[in-house]
Structure 1
Amino acid sequence: MNMMMPRIAEPERMTEEEEIFYAKADYSAPHEALAREIASTVGTGAKWAIDIGCGPGDVLLRLRKLAPDWVLFGADISARMLSLASEDQEQRLTADETPVNWLLGNGKDLALPDTLFDVAISNSVLHHVADPVAFWKQIRRITKSGAHVFVRDLRRPDSEAEAQAIIDRNIPNESEVVRTHYFSSLLSSYTVAEVRAQLQEANLSSLEVIELADRYLSVQGKVVK
């Protein structure tokens, strides 16, 4: 019987070097796919949406093009990331497009009112969170009943050998900094079963957790209050 590898937590914040490499990496294809999925799933009409742990803001800036009438917020724990997001916004949005609202804050304790958002997004953040139930409870607090949730993250493999194989298979040509960080992120990730237990404790069991490809999980659905 195979035993699941225990989670090896990594810091909630990236190092400066990791942030720089992350900001420079090309995630255009998956980010564009995620933005299009969000826009098509939620549909037309004015919405309030937040990306928790938005990093340099690429998903939101892509979503702005697809949902011009949405009010968009990007929250991140890193002032450096938000500065990069703000700079990128100036280059990518026209004067006629409504800017994204950038918010410095921890995703487990956001200075935002209750039941504000119609859409909650988070991409590649959950594995950094040491107290995931607090993260999910925050999503429940700031969203309306019926709000759409789109949370994507890595999922923990069964062994370090499998984690290394995932890296060799998917990012063989990335820098050693990126490969090393990706390895630690895989080991810090949660399993599908663990995320389902987190959602149950946070009273978000209406959300579905599914496996994607060889290394991801997706939490999606609507908030029920």
Structure 2
Amino acid sequence: MDTMDEAILYLDMNHEQINRVFTDDLFAGGAVGPRVMELGCGPALIAIEIARRDDALQVMGIDMSVEMLDMAKRQVDIAGLLDRVMLQHADVKAMDEFEEGMADTVACNSVIHHLENPIAGLRTAIRLVKSNGRVFIRDLYRPVTEPEIEKLVEIHGEGEPEAAQQLLRQSLHASLTLEEARELASECGISAECVNMTSDRHWTLDWTKA
């Protein structure tokens, strides 16, 4: 999201159910926090949702888009969570200035498919989470055929403007298959069993660092 118009388009899309299910699954899968880091936080809607679930949590949202972070700050302010949701400008592919093992939980939603080198994002998450902490990553799944992609756009883009539907279409084309996501995890020493389909268009990696 390189312009404010693109950031506004993303914010205007209906992500409420996706964000709620992401957060439900995060908390249902195991311990969360107290220090949570969200990579690629966008307008911070998931970071806000996580903070609302537990008053003891401190959430740090990371994004490389200045426009998204400007929008995120307004959303956090409106939510009354400026004391517990912090925002930082950084590239998830290169966060060497952030301390290793600084987070109890590293979460990431629909960012991997934006990365030219997806394994760099996963390695960042692994480095930032502490021992016995969790990495929880969810991203879009790429169907095998074009008709399958168009069907998902029809189902999940219903009611959205054409520009938003095209954004979803492009994201599906750029995403990984389940097999590719599992291969990515295996390259980083994570069992393929930790990566599973969790909806008709999402795979999820849920892993505890030994």
Using the size of structure 1 for normalisation, the TM-score is 0.86
Structure 2 residue aligned with 1:151? 137
Structure 2 residue aligned with 1:201? 187
**Quick one: distance in 1 between partners of 2:124 and 2:167?**
27
Letter in 2 for 1:141: R
Using the size of structure 2 for normalisation, the TM-score is 0.91
Structure with max Cα Rg: 1
Letter in 1 for 2:182: R
Residue 207 of structure 1, CA deviation: 6.5
**Quick one: distance in 2 between partners of 1:14 and 1:105?**
14
Aligned residue for 1:145, secondary structure, equals strand
Q: What is the Cα-based RMSD across aligned positions, in Å?
A: 1.9
Residue 14 of structure 1, CA deviation: 5.3
Contact 2:190–2:207 (CA under 8 A) maintained in structure 1: no
Residue 90 (structure 2) pairs with residue 102 (structure 1): no
| Residues 119, 207 of structure 1: alpha-carbon distance in 2 compared, 3 angstrom cutoff | farther
Residue 205 of structure 1, CA deviation: 2.9
Matches within 5 A, 1:1-225: 13=1, 16-43=4-31, 47-93=34-80, 98-110=83-95, 111-205=97-191, 208-224=194-210
Identity of aligned residues (%): 23
**Quick one: distance in 2 between partners of 1:151 and 1:187?**
19
Letter in 1 for 2:89: L
Residue 135 of structure 1, CA deviation: 1.1
Give the number of the structure with larger relative contact order, counting CA–CA contacts within 8 Å between residues 6 or more apart: 1
Residue 185 of structure 1, CA deviation: 0.5
Aligned residue for 1:29, secondary structure, equals helix
Q: Which runs of 5+ in 1 are unaligned?
A: 1-12
1:172-212 per-residue CA deviation (whole Å, 9 max, x = no partner) reads 22110011111111000001111111112122337611112
